[in-house]
Structure 1
């Protein structure tokens, strides 16, 4: 059929060119193309195409010879991509069309049968889910390595007192191991979230086609088994318009980023001259271009700063998705760069944190001195009075007045004499000094989850079990 007068035939670089009478404007082509970032999905795209070719064969839509030819061609494309010899063509928009067109170059017109009953809508949903299943497992493994590094340092510091803080004011003594283990349990929840996100992504979208489901007798259950999915999507509209799996990954990443940021904030604060609790290895610090004496915790600061990227990526995709009518819209192309950026950011963090933690030098002598300063055992004095029979609210009031007296006199609790103590309560006896040492304060908190060294050793054993089996 000849083109109508006044219209020119459009080149067939696009898979949808038959409908159009004008070629894509170069600016529009650059604007809509996704190859620059979705090319990283090629291993999963080819895996999906191989499985789809086999599904078409089972449905009688490809002969055995055609199926085998396509699969061999896809294997050849895979090899080119793996070795860096694949001839990418940006004008073909995305990784899907690049792979299909290269397959045609290698095996001829039979390649045109591969897209039977399939849309790029369910194809990209498949690629992303396969990719997510892999990267969620990798990130979870990276989190486990960070946990192992924290546990190793905690095992060294079960008996090392440290001031605990609330409102960034010294509060009560803890041991350093207790502080480090807090992050182990945060990261354990992060591992569980990535595991849960992976489980919910483990649903096959392929066969949903553009939106209404494929019109051919594809055995989707067999296809799911071939691709390692636990289930088949029950609704084709949802299958192609859903990006919950991306959002769940991004949400888990944002929470993990927050936990990494808090750990980095602790370490950078502790590394200041004002605290002096920790020193970073030279291998994980940098200097100043103008101040020769400086040693800056840049790696930890960047870990803290990258939480902003992880938050931003989540908010970006939530915002993209919030107003979209069913089913697929090109807006959804905007999920990939935030998704990939979060993957790269998380993998970078979990790569650098274990060696950073392993090479920290903790100044436990300075921590110990600080743990007993600024009336940190005042609560223990109140508890002492409670054990003598005084209601806690009255004990709190007594100790508050006693602290005010000591501040006015320029004394610590340890400096006060027994007569001075007894001016505030006749219940205070000569054993009071033994009750308000740092060591006594720590020993007293032996409940499950407490900071007493005995309790921390039990928690350490629990942490090791969770890391190994959780």
Structure 2
């Protein structure tokens, strides 16, 4: 018996029970959860196109339209339980059409299309909706950060390099750096959306169709900017997926770094950021503790988001350039988890940045103890005393060592060491007195004199904030246009479809 062709003795019936439970049922449950509206829109847009191009006559199209409307009314996807009677949600709708119209009329809806182009169109519709929602949340975070940067543009902080106090800056200047990264992240996301916003419908299985279909019309009715031009690309190119999840991955790598700084800034030893009670949890055993736990949640949720996005990219890696399950239902559903955790971070971070404040007393003490204004003393010696920077740097370093050894601060304890170091290095007295010295080593002067493009002083900060506000407004206008385009497409599709229903 083992030498017989197995096809001759195959009495099995699809689906195998294990295949049903491990693959078909999860896919069906995912489709009924995530893609019902997409299926509905695709069926209706394709039907409108078929009748407009004369591929179906009006009576046939009207009958199908009425049946589709009845299915929407009679079938509650949330109540469906997968039985294996049909392969997937697509075939369930086809089965329902046949029960209402008969095989001949029901089968005509599938003229000139395939599950290949349907699936990728379905996934793009789902991604567009999620991308738009996430971009809106990112824009909300951007606006919160701009407001905070405006509010804190003169608020001194300690800026760190290599984990050590480096120079004074302002919280507004720090946030501005993060704002610029977020703007670029939103722009990357917007570019990814442009790739998603091209319709695969009409590619059919691979090569389009011999029927006189109008791909542009279906794209218009579904709210896409245009058809994706090459039909093979419609079913094989997964760059709409990789561009989307690359954008998510990058955004949350970048936000995670900001969040990590906030964790460091709120530590007891640094303490330059104060977190209000509304964002603080108490210890169950240690009554003195104020735990800014939301920062930890943002940090690990950002990591989860990045990891989920990376997983989607890894799934697509080294796959063939063809239609494939690797880029379809289960991968799409897995990717939606990245959007879910991303949304949580964006909402929480926007609220957090609005609420936190800088503790000026801790900042001043940290500046005093770390001597981080000493760079400006060296710079000023070059400008005022005409020293080389290296000589000025050596004088300033000597002063800093003396002040740190004493446990003091530059303004109070640095002038005498400065006089000694300056005279030793130059053989003369400096041209300025103690009052000028105290000004030169103050954090306010340090910030004020750094007025070049991109610096923390008042003028460059005002210019930067004006630019950020204009960019945020442009994002809002772009989002509003996209929303209007989507609404217009949905309205046009509904009107055309209802015309078919009403003329049965």
Q: Is TM (by shorter chain) over 0.5? A: yes
Choose the corresponding residue for 1:391, options 367, 388, 391. Answer: 388
Distance change (3 Å), C-alpha of 1:156 and 1:106: farther
* Alpha-carbon distance, 1:331 to partner: 2.4
Partner of 1:422: 422
* Alpha-carbon distance, 1:170 to partner: 0.6
- 2:401 match: secondary structure: helix
CA contact (8 A) 1:175 1:453 kept: no
Partner of 2:308: 313
* Alpha-carbon distance, 1:192 to partner: 0.7
CA contact (8 A) 1:164 1:172 kept: yes
Choose the corresponding residue for 1:270, options 250, 255, 265. Answer: 265
What is the correspondence of 1:65-464 to structure 2 with a 5 Å cutoff? 65-78=59-72, 87-89=80-82, 91=84, 92-109=86-103, 110-333=105-328, 334-387=330-383, 388-414=385-411, 415-418=413-416, 419-423=419-423, 424-425=425-426, 426=428, 428=430, 429-430=432-433, 431-464=436-469
* Alpha-carbon distance, 1:371 to partner: 3.3
1:30 maps to 2:21: yes
Structure with bigger RCO (C-alpha 8 Å, 6+ apart): 2
Q: Which moved more, 1:99-108 or 1:355-364?
A: 99-108
- 1:306 match: secondary structure: helix
Deviations along 1:328-361, whole A, 9 cap, x unmatched? 1222234213321111122222222222222224
RMSD: 2.6
CA contact (8 A) 2:205 2:235 kept: yes
CA contact (8 A) 2:116 2:323 kept: yes
Once residues 99 and 461 of structure 1 are traced to their aligned partners in structure 2, the CA distance between those partners, rounded to angstroms, is: 53
CA contact (8 A) 2:167 2:373 kept: yes
Deviations along 1:9-48, whole A, 9 cap, x unmatched? xxxxxxxxxxxx5222111122222123333022122111
* Alpha-carbon distance, 1:247 to partner: 1.1
Distance change (3 Å), C-alpha of 1:444 and 1:249: same
* Alpha-carbon distance, 1:374 to partner: 0.8
Report the structure, 1 or 2, having the larger helix content: 2
* Alpha-carbon distance, 1:440 to partner: 0.7
* Alpha-carbon distance, 1:125 to partner: 0.6
Q: How many residues align?
A: 454
- Gaps of at least 5 residues in structure 2 are 1-6, 476-504
CA contact (8 A) 1:240 1:327 kept: yes
Once residues 255 and 194 of structure 1 are traced to their aligned partners in structure 2, the CA distance between those partners, rounded to angstroms, is: 10
Q: Which moved more, 1:25-34 or 1:363-372?
A: 363-372
Once residues 115 and 54 of structure 1 are traced to their aligned partners in structure 2, the CA distance between those partners, rounded to angstroms, is: 13
Once residues 118 and 291 of structure 1 are traced to their aligned partners in structure 2, the CA distance between those partners, rounded to angstroms, is: 65
- 2:208 match: secondary structure: coil
Once residues 344 and 90 of structure 1 are traced to their aligned partners in structure 2, the CA distance between those partners, rounded to angstroms, is: 29
Distance change (3 Å), C-alpha of 1:391 and 1:159: same
Distance change (3 Å), C-alpha of 1:390 and 1:261: same
- 1:246 match: secondary structure: helix
Once residues 411 and 280 of structure 1 are traced to their aligned partners in structure 2, the CA distance between those partners, rounded to angstroms, is: 28
* Alpha-carbon distance, 1:254 to partner: 1.0
- Gaps of at least 5 residues in structure 1 are 9-20
- 1:373 match: secondary structure: helix
Q: TM-score, normalised by structure 2?
A: 0.83
Distance change (3 Å), C-alpha of 1:234 and 1:157: closer
Distance change (3 Å), C-alpha of 1:377 and 1:241: same
